[in-house]
Amino acid sequence: MYAVIMAGGSGTRFWPLSRKARPKQFLAIGTERPLLRETVDRLGPLIPPEKVYVVAGEHHAAPIRALLPDLPADHLLVEPCPRNTAPCVGLAAIHLARRDPQAVMAVLPADHHIGDGPGYRAVLAAAAERAREGEIVTLGIRPTRPETGYGYIRYDGTDPVVAANGVEVSRVERFVEKPPLEVARKYLASNRYLWNSGMFFFTAARILADIERYMPHLARTLKTIGAAIGTEAYPAALAEGFAGLKSVSIDYGVMEHATADPDLPPMRVVPSDFGWNDVGHWAAIADFAEADRDGNIVDGDAVLVDTRDSIVHVTRGTAAVIGVEGLVVVSTDDAVLVCPRGRAQDVKRIVTRLQRDGREELL
């Protein structure tokens, strides 16, 4: 099994800590080490670094090499331009297919938090077992709230396949879009829906076959790029090929079609419970980081007086916070953020405003 870590994110929701040049995967947010480093370390006992591939944009290549010195040099696959996850997965697949078309790829985001490492690796092992059979497997997180920010997976839990390690693997009925709140409540109550974690498992041969079936233009481009691997023509073929691609997610481009196709083996999902968190905004830290007895989560130099349930993250200077509750306070080298935990999603509005005002130095 190989891990393919998608590290192309350019998240803005951790502004002012996250910037174009330093997106979330490079930050330690409620964690000891940067999320990308934690992702690689978490895989270690199951997938050692020499079987890890990382796909990322050109301007992040240097920081990734610095953060992952144990990653083989040719395992960093650079995307010349961002084209969402389908081209990203396809690029990794053509590289892996040259080595072993039957290699199982675990496609994983670089910037999520996992609370239960052993549980996570058990699920990965079970998913890989099915993927080796030529199936596509996804991880679905058991929802704990009526979240409207995620896609969902409707699944049939009645007749699971049980993996060698005892983990049950169910059938996907269908992928569904981010729901409105009322619908999300019904999903939660029904116990028939899981959050789409964006983690997929398949052999290189299987995903390339599906891309050929459902995304023929991408397939042709990948063939041209693949033919140039290991030659001097590769950079130009990659740049030209990617430039001509549309931005499409692997979910939309392949998974949804493959699920509905009766000629294909069933799409699988492992209903999972390993303390998953996509660390979507500052307030999400409270879901997994340890709070002090006042409910505060403090990282960096801070003095708190009569303050509760707040998230204080300081990378420059000292933050003094008096008499507030449920506030996010972030202080970095050149910017400060203050907002209630419930408004953490709106940090992107600040970024939008800065973009509109041409404040490039803050982006």
Question: Which listed range, 25-33, 190-198, 269-277, 320-328, lies at the site for a copy of itself (CB under 8 A)?
Answer: 320-328
15 lies in the binding site for a copy of itself (CB under 8 A): yes
Token look-up 């960096």 returns 300
Nearer to a copy of itself, 181 or 336 (CB): 336
Q: How far is the CB of 302 from a copy of itself (least distance, A)?
A: 9
16 lies in the binding site for a copy of itself (CB under 8 A): yes
Question: Which listed range, 157-165, 188-196, 219-227, 329-337, lies at the site for a copy of itself (CB under 8 A)?
Answer: 329-337
Residues 69 to 88: which contact a copy of itself by CB under 8 A? none
| Contact yes or no for 3/51 (Cβ under 8 A) | yes
Nearer to a copy of itself, 77 or 329 (CB): 329
Size of the site for a copy of itself (CB under 8 A): 37
Half-sphere exposure of 181 (CA within 13 A, CB side): 0
Give the integer Cα–Cα distance in Å for 140 and 149. Answer: 15
- Give residue 204's Cα distance to chain centre: 19
6 lies in the binding site for a copy of itself (CB under 8 A): no
Among 213, 239, 340, 363, binds a copy of itself (CB under 8 A): 340
343 lies in the binding site for a copy of itself (CB under 8 A): yes
Q: Which residues of 352-361 are buried (b: 16+ CB within 10 A; e: fewer)?
A: eebeeeeeee
Among 35, 269, 279, 329, binds a copy of itself (CB under 8 A): 329
Q: How far is the CB of 336 from a copy of itself (least distance, A)?
A: 4
118 lies in the binding site for a copy of itself (CB under 8 A): no
Among 45, 149, 338, 355, binds a copy of itself (CB under 8 A): 338
228 lies in the binding site for a copy of itself (CB under 8 A): no
322 lies in the binding site for a copy of itself (CB under 8 A): yes
336 lies in the binding site for a copy of itself (CB under 8 A): yes
Q: For residue 201, what are the β-bridge partners?
A: 106, 137
Angle between helix 216-228 and 204-214 (nearest 10): 130
Nearer to a copy of itself, 15 or 201 (CB): 15
**Residue 182: closest CA among 230, 227, 148:** 148
| Contact yes or no for 7/54 (Cβ under 8 A) | yes
Residue 87 one-letter amino acid: P
The site map against a copy of itself for 278-317 (x = CB under 8 A) is: -------------------------x-xx-------x-xx
* 114 contacts: CB under 8 Å, gap ≥ 6: 42, 120, 274, 275, 276, 277
Give the integer Cα–Cα distance in Å for 115 and 132. Answer: 27
Q: How far is the CB of 309 from a copy of itself (least distance, A)?
A: 14
Half-sphere exposure of 183 (CA within 13 A, CB side): 12
Strand order in the sheet with 311-314: 297-299, 311-314, 327-331
Angle between helix 216-228 and 234-243 (nearest 10): 170
Binding positions for a copy of itself, rule: CB under 8 A: 15-16, 303, 305-306, 314, 316-324, 327, 329, 331-340, 342-343, 346-347, 349-350, 353-354, 359, 362
